[in-house]
Structure 1
Amino acid sequence: MRKYSLMAGLMLAASMGGGAMAEEFNVDALIEAARKEPPITVYGVSGRIVDTAEAFSKTYGLQATGKKVNEAGQADLVIREFQAGNVLGDVSLGMDAGSAVAQVLPEGIAESWTPPDLAADIAEGLRNPLVVISDPQVWTYNTEKYDACPVKNIWELTEPTWKGKVAMLDPLEKPLYADWFNQLETHHDAAIAKAYEDHFGKKLETDEPSATAAWVKAYAANGPLIGDSTVVSEAIGAAAQAEPFFGITATAKYRDNESKGLKLGLCDTIQPFAGFLYPSYGLIAAKSDSPNTAKLFIRFLMTEEGIANQMVDGKPSGNGKLALPADEASGIAGHMDQLLTFSASTVGDDFDKRQDWQDLWRVNYKK
């Protein structure tokens, strides 16, 4: 496994930043250059990428095809296509963040590009790599069973009351959860320790290397229900349950409150965080035959026209001028400051330590 240091990450960010911000940019010239290039294919983790590609094609008179490919699958495809010299995917949206920062970008397999004319609307920490959109994973309860969130502190989830009654995706299958553990330890371990003290009334004493590791160990040992996103959301939100699960799930599942009659509610009182924001980077294949079309597509994604169909799922755009819809089902817009935001500077470290966190989970998990 290729190791990725913090210094390497900072150097990578610096190399991608200043030039793109300073260069002269003319969107009409970009469009004209794109019209001389072949059609593009775009990989996205959401099936909505198909509609986005169709909208792009209609808007610019260019041909783009969207294909749904999961996070890990995108990383694998992009790496293999580069090695084979046969690029099929010109743009990647939502690639596994650790693979992107630790492998794909440093090796020159793909590149990050921030539209210069929109850069002022994109927070500096979201430009390199460019975060097109973020996917909130939030602690969730059943609003039919409870008038308010029944959990105030994540350490409650290590106690007998919630043994076998918390639902989530499998950290062994969805590395973003292992990466979340590492982000907690790296940037917010003091908050995890304080949450312990607030809940138990005493300071944490543990043989584990961090408060986060102690929490992960105890949480895994309390036997959370592991399932896919549908299993998790229905375990939490299905109606007429005597003892529904608590859990963590994507805000995108809250749309099932209307379509499937679920009763999902955002737990905005739990400490220290109500969940986390997982970044979806927009990357361009280095060997693409259509680099200008790919850039134009990235710029399209940073506009309301290009990303509105994903924002309805509670996913905030990297473009700070674009607000989530007022009728978005989870209501996450009012609670962004309660979510952990992934730091790009240490995403490479998340990748390097991913196996360690998965091993900690595997050893301690009990059904």
Structure 2
Amino acid sequence: MLLSVAVLAGTAGASMAADAFDLQALIEAAKKEAPITVYDSTGKIVDMAKAFSAKYGLHAQGAKIKAAAQLEMMIREAQAKNVQGDVSIVSDAPAAMAQLLPQGFAESWLPPDMAPKIPAEYQTPLTVVTSANVWAYNTALFDKCPVTNIWQLTEPKWKGKVAMQDPLGKSSYIDWFNQMAKHGDDKIAAAYKELYGKDLAAGESSATAAWVKALAANSPLLTDADAGAADAVAAPGQTQPFMGMISSAKFRDNKDKGMKLGLCRDLKPWLGWMYPGIGLIAKGTKSPNAARLFIHYVMTAEGIAPQAEDGKLSTNRDVSLPADEPSGIGAVLSQVFPYRIATSLGDWDQRDAWQDFWRLNYKK
């Protein structure tokens, strides 16, 4: 069988036509290999690995590791020829594109039978999932989102009352700035004019830069994790009116912890932004078939279910979010700013500049 010959040779990046793909051959080959370890920045990867193991009768272990640590580990393991993490779902797309793939530390594999279901922009490299960071408010303090335009967050009323992760410690926020400047600057300028009835004054390199500067100068409350921002906004008993930028996954805490998080559905120009999770196979893995099988598994509704419950979207068009997903993000996806992997290397190149810009303008 063409598939089993190719994967047993360990060529994890080889392409193959859908009509030549044999899932059963892949399963049988995977069962002959050593257990695998899968890295991801969400704890849900532990449950996903357990379910994968139970389904196929082999062993996979999930490990929750932050994106920056994943990158360092994969690079060092590849250089040492001692692969410990066989699969990684990397939420730092620019770093994956700039470091892991071109230097041969990892490879992308697109399941041939999934290709017709996955939009072209998510195929090279394979984006497994896209996750949303969204603006949230406290439903116990407000009947609806207290702002309708992101420029309001730069006004004196919200000085010190916007909670978010520190962009200097969370590179995806810096990438968000660059993506907006590259692909959505006109909408940020239009939002300013819609709110204030006049054009944004010249002065910064872009409307995005002007907004980032104004937000930083308005003394946002910076946290080291989404949990801190979510607590500031909507912890039980919270009486101070905060707005927050948080992962859609935190909305599960409304049920689990009595939080009062509400989604700012009508915020202009966007209610939040997406970032991708890139599925990679470590170069040099001793279990290339099992690694491929895991990638195939997480591209199914069953495989991605633990993350879908948190509002994270599979790139497989046939997979949808659960109807009871807590944030409600599925109903307003058109209002979420998308991430374009095609320009991710530009995000990588501009990180230092945006970090310096934030550092220069942030006021405590």
Shorter-normalised TM range? over 0.9
Counterpart in the other structure of 2:79:
83
Alpha-carbon deviations, 1:108-161, whole Å to 9, x = none?
Answer: 111111111111111111111111111110010111111111111111111101
Q: Does 1:51 align with 2:47?
A: yes
Q: Does 1:152 align with 2:156?
A: no
Q: Does 1:295 align with 2:266?
A: no
Alignment of 1:154-169 (within 5 A): 154-169=150-165
Counterpart in the other structure of 2:351:
354
CA distance in 2, matches of 1:22, 1:300: 16
SS across alignment from 2:145: coil
- For 1:332, which of 329, 334, 358 is the aligned residue? 329
Counterpart in the other structure of 1:247:
244
Structure 2 counterpart of 1:146, one-letter code: F
Structure 1 counterpart of 2:328, one-letter code: G
CA distance in 2, matches of 1:138, 1:94: 20
Q: Does 1:201 align with 2:201?
A: no
Higher mean alpha-carbon deviation, 181-190 vs 26-35, is at: 26-35
CA distance in 2, matches of 1:84, 1:355: 29
Structure 1 counterpart of 2:275, one-letter code: Y
Alignment of 1:150-189 (within 5 A): 150-189=146-185
Counterpart in the other structure of 2:217:
221
CA distance in 2, matches of 1:83, 1:206: 48
CA distance in 2, matches of 1:95, 1:200: 36
Counterpart in the other structure of 1:235:
232
Counterpart in the other structure of 2:132:
136
- Residues 1:196 and 1:20: Cα distance change in structure 2 (over 3 Å): farther
Q: Does 1:72 align with 2:101?
A: no
CA distance in 1, matches of 2:30, 2:313: 28
Structure 2 counterpart of 1:334, one-letter code: A
Structure 2 counterpart of 1:75, one-letter code: L
- Residues 1:196 and 1:314: Cα distance change in structure 2 (over 3 Å): same
Q: Does 1:25 align with 2:21?
A: yes
Counterpart in the other structure of 1:271:
268
Counterpart in the other structure of 1:318:
315
CA distance in 1, matches of 2:226, 2:348: 23
- Residues 1:21 and 1:103: Cα distance change in structure 2 (over 3 Å): farther
Cα offset for 1:165? Answer: 0.5
Cα offset for 1:107? Answer: 1.3
Cα offset for 1:22? Answer: 5.8
- Residues 1:17 and 1:285: Cα distance change in structure 2 (over 3 Å): closer
Alpha-carbon deviations, 1:155-200, whole Å to 9, x = none?
Answer: 1111101111000001000100000000000111111111111111
CA distance in 1, matches of 2:115, 2:13: 10
Cα offset for 1:352? Answer: 1.2
Structure 1 counterpart of 2:151, one-letter code: W
Q: Is the 8 A contact 2:18 2:113 kept in 1?
A: no
Alpha-carbon deviations, 1:330-358, whole Å to 9, x = none?
Answer: 11110111111110101111111111111
SS across alignment from 1:75: helix
Q: Is the 8 A contact 1:17 1:127 kept in 2?
A: no
SS across alignment from 2:20: coil
Identify unmatched segments of 5+ residues in structure 1: 1-15
Alpha-carbon deviations, 1:286-318, whole Å to 9, x = none?
Answer: 111111110000000011221101110011111
- For 1:107, which of 100, 103, 106 is the aligned residue? 103
SS across alignment from 1:138: strand
Cα offset for 1:20? Answer: 4.0
CA distance in 2, matches of 1:100, 1:287: 17
Q: Is the 8 A contact 1:72 1:95 kept in 2?
A: no
Q: Is the 8 A contact 2:13 2:107 kept in 1?
A: no
Identify unmatched segments of 5+ residues in structure 2: 1-11
CA distance in 1, matches of 2:239, 2:294: 48
- For 1:122, which of 115, 118, 123 is the aligned residue? 118
Q: Is the 8 A contact 2:13 2:108 kept in 1?
A: no
CA distance in 2, matches of 1:188, 1:203: 16
Higher mean alpha-carbon deviation, 248-257 vs 119-128, is at: 119-128
- Residues 1:106 and 1:47: Cα distance change in structure 2 (over 3 Å): same
Counterpart in the other structure of 1:343:
340
SS across alignment from 1:346: helix
RMSD of aligned C-alpha atoms?
Answer: 1.5
Q: Is the 8 A contact 1:42 1:65 kept in 2?
A: yes
- Residues 1:48 and 1:241: Cα distance change in structure 2 (over 3 Å): closer
Counterpart in the other structure of 1:257:
254
Structure 1 counterpart of 2:344, one-letter code: V
TM-score, reference length from structure 1: 0.93
- Residues 1:176 and 1:50: Cα distance change in structure 2 (over 3 Å): same
TM-score, reference length from structure 2: 0.94
CA distance in 1, matches of 2:16, 2:329: 32
Counterpart in the other structure of 2:8:
none
The number of residue pairs the alignment matches comes to: 352
Identity of aligned residues (%): 53
Cα offset for 1:243? Answer: 2.5
